[in-house]
């Protein structure tokens, strides 16, 4: 079973050695997976996380600037 959830996703341009190691471990776990359904589920999970992060960033940025967001 693909087990990358034991690590925190860290996608920062200037990563520490520990973060680089975790990234590589996760990438290798993905590369080693042969279960298409599992990879699809992971992709959908990451897509949902990306959209949630984008929405949170939009709201946080607007709040920091004193702007109102129209939904």
**Tens of pLDDT, residues 11-68:** 555 678 888 899 899 999 999 999 999 999 999 999 999 999 999 999 999 999 999 8
Rounded to 5 degrees, what are φ and ψ at 69?
Answer: -100, 130
pTM of the predicted model as reported, rounded to 2 decimal places: 0.62
């Amino acid at each position: 079973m693909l087990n990358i959830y034991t690590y925190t996703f860290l996608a920062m341009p200037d990563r520490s050695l520990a973060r680089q190691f975790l990234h590589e471990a996760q990438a290798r776990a993905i590369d080693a997976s042969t279960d298409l359904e599992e990879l699809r589920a992971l992709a959908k999970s990451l897509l949902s996380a990306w959209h949630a992060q984008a929405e949170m960033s939009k709201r946080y940025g607007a709040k920091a600037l004193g702007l109102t967001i129209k939904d």
